[in-house]
Structure 1
Amino acid sequence: MASTLTYLTKAYTMKLHHIILGMAMAAGCLTACDEVDSDKRFIGPVVPEARKNVLVEDFTGQKCVNCPSAADMVASLQQLYGAEHVVAVSIHGGSLSRDEATDKFGLANATSKAYNEHWGVSQWPSGKIDRTDGLQGPDKWAAAVLTRIIQQPAAELNIANIAYDAASKTLNLDVSVTANESVTGRLQVWLTESGVVQQQYMPDGTKNNQYVHSHVLRASVNDPYGDQLTLAASATDTKHYTYTLPDVSALRNNTPWNTQNMSVVVFFYNDQQGVMQVIDHKLQ
């Protein structure tokens, strides 16, 4: 199994580079018949400019041996386009997850498990790219991200006046949505944590107790399916949110969240256009 999973990981990465290389070759063909100065010649693959940010919802589990390969795929996409343009969230749930309430290693919580059930996830890893085209395996993520990242965003997002009070464990922030066209959608605000050292089953079947988990979905600041907004073109709406981080002492996994490693993920979406824009902002 180890050799098969290693092959799959390499295949995911090769697919990503083949997509970009294909675009580069196409660009080269357009200028093949022209005389080009040596200092202006096309040298290698060109990464397309990111016009909008893309949300990658990675449905995962700590008992899923294929999931570390999917996490590597996400990291490759973020390295290629920039982490600010590929916003990832790891959503633990399902039969291959471990529940924080009952398992000292667990990272799945009530919210993340509910999302797995809502989207009908039955295989891990699976992903949703900008909430378009349903659930997809990691081998489809690179192409889906490329398709979305070159589109013009229907809306812009901004986080302002963000403040976290450590004594009360309370977060306050203002989130603004500015429409580039008339649009109706839902505004979603999540909290994620990276640098979480916790057990993970690996592709070779071993358990890695020092595995570093990234972008772990910790909580939804607002309604789990967002607050509905309708905006005319060029209009802006601002929402204020207050959220108190929960007391985890009663959980089986009672490791406190490290707010230094946490981020606020905000996205605006609807069922027709998917995620129109997404941003990631450090909590502190």
Structure 2
Amino acid sequence: MGLSLRNLFLFTLGVILFSSCSEKEDFSSFTSNTVEPINIGLTYRAASLRNQEVTFRVYDDQSNEIVDNITFYVDGAPIVGNTFSSDQEGVFSIYAEYEDQGTLSTTDTGSFSVVIPTKNVLVEDYTGTWCGYCPAVSAAVDAVQALTEHISIVALHNGDDLSLAIEPDIRDGLGIPSGSPRARIDRTIVWGLGTPPVFPTSDVLSLAGIDSPVAIGVSSILNGRSLSVNVSVASEQALADHKLVVYMTEDGLLRDQTNYYDNDQSSPYFGQGNPMVDFEQKHVLRASLTDAIGDPIPALNALTDYTTQISYTVPEDFALDQLHLVVMVVDQNNLAVNTQHAALEETVVYE
């Protein structure tokens, strides 16, 4: 009887990477470590970049790798050895045939993809419930989200009960002036001009969904309030002096919001009162799982995976079903070259 693809699920939770490729990384007060894989059945990376080598392996029910008398088939054609790469995008099928005690066995057929990474543009909103012009950024972000899914969002509060002690450090590290509203695209690009400021959606949409050299994968496992986050990074180009940033955000936080647009008929917040009672604060930065400005990524060769795991205890007052992870890779100038976002216990592979 052939082995099933049970381990593909475990692989997905491991962020599309073999755990044995993981490296330890210092995440300050958070724990980073390596988890040994549990291998049963056919294993492989679920998504790869163009020309990035994919390795296929089959393990028996004792996690012993089957290496003798085994052939792998990609799109129905046998390959030499157990590796494959493609210079073209696409979705490919994979299965293996092998001898099991003199009987020919076949694994289930799975699939893997080869991709050109897609850019998820980052918008950071420096805001506060006291800030009467800040709802304009919320409206602009909502408008962008209605037009593209390729956007990651973080709202950094100051001067209210949702503010974090690291907010001034982030401003200092990125050169963000005091005051709100302030908005940035990809950490460093100013978004919003005029008084009161206007936030053109075209500024964000022009960057959303374009090709990027860098791919990010993220997954997480929650056990009670104990969260294990797996992050992977790969690039079509070598990376040097880049950093990894991992934030946790929360939606659904209700607060009274000062609203200077109550009498502005062109605003979606016209006639909603000043303040707007129980206004939903979305994308609120609740924790940084790395250094707030980012942890160094070791120099990375092209088409090589960098992987790491972070452990974090989610505070009791965080609503688990409203939490998201926002992951960024930034360059030496703190410009986000790509980002990824996922709900807790959601797996996002390279895409």
With normalisation by structure 2, the TM-score equals 0.56
- Structure 1 CA distance for aligned equivalents of residues 199 and 188 of structure 2: 12
- Aligned partners of 2:140 and 2:199 also within 8 Å: no
For residue 72 of structure 1, give the secondary structure of its aligned residue in structure 2.
Answer: helix
Which has the higher mean CA deviation after the structures are superposed, 150-159 or 270-279?
270-279
Q: Which residue of 2 aligns with 1:202?
A: 259
- Quote the offset at 1:232 in angstroms: 1.3
Give the structure with higher Rg (CA): 2
- Aligned partners of 1:54 and 1:145 also within 8 Å: yes
- Structure 2 CA distance for aligned equivalents of residues 52 and 151 of structure 1: 5
- Aligned partners of 2:121 and 2:339 also within 8 Å: yes
- Structure 1 CA distance for aligned equivalents of residues 155 and 202 of structure 2: 19
Q: Which residue of 2 aligns with 1:239?
A: 308
- Quote the offset at 1:147 in angstroms: 3.2
- Aligned partners of 1:92 and 1:113 also within 8 Å: no
- Which of 156, 174, 178 aligns to 1:91? It is 156
* Residue 226 of structure 2 is aligned to residue 170 of structure 1: yes
- Which of 188, 192, 201 aligns to 1:142? It is 201
- Aligned partners of 2:248 and 2:324 also within 8 Å: yes
Opposite residue 86 of structure 1, the aligned amino acid is: I
Structure 1: gaps of 5 or more residues: 1-49, 99-105, 248-255
RMSD: 2.1
For residue 198 of structure 1, give the secondary structure of its aligned residue in structure 2.
Answer: strand
- Structure 2 CA distance for aligned equivalents of residues 182 and 139 of structure 1: 38
- Aligned partners of 2:124 and 2:155 also within 8 Å: yes
Can you list the C-alpha shifts for 1:163-196, whole angstroms capped at 9, x where unaligned?
1122xx2210210001121122111111000011
- Quote the offset at 1:127 in angstroms: 1.0
Can you list the C-alpha shifts for 1:18-58, whole angstroms capped at 9, x where unaligned?
xxxxxxxxxxxxxxxxxxxxxxxxxxxxxxxx941100011
- Which of 75, 79, 91 aligns to 2:142? It is 75
- Aligned partners of 1:130 and 1:148 also within 8 Å: no
Opposite residue 265 of structure 1, the aligned amino acid is: V
For residue 144 of structure 1, give the secondary structure of its aligned residue in structure 2.
Answer: helix
Can you list the C-alpha shifts for 1:85-142, whole angstroms capped at 9, x where unaligned?
111110112xxx21xxxxxxx1111123432344333231111101243464463552
Q: Which residue of 1 aligns with 2:211?
A: 152
Q: Which residue of 2 aligns with 1:17?
A: none
- Whose helix fraction is larger, Structure 1's or Structure 2's? 1
Paired residues for 1:13-32 under 5 Å: none
Structure 2: gaps of 5 or more residues: 1-116, 263-272, 346-351
Can you list the C-alpha shifts for 1:232-263, whole angstroms capped at 9, x where unaligned?
1111110110111246xxxxxxxx11111000
Q: Which residue of 2 aligns with 1:275?
A: 336
Opposite residue 212 of structure 1, the aligned amino acid is: E
**1:87/1:58 CA distance change after superposition, 3 Å:** same
Can you list the C-alpha shifts for 1:59-108, whole angstroms capped at 9, x where unaligned?
111100111121010010011112xx111110112xxx21xxxxxxx111
* Residue 115 of structure 2 is aligned to residue 56 of structure 1: no
Q: Which residue of 2 aligns with 1:19?
A: none
Paired-residue identity, %: 28
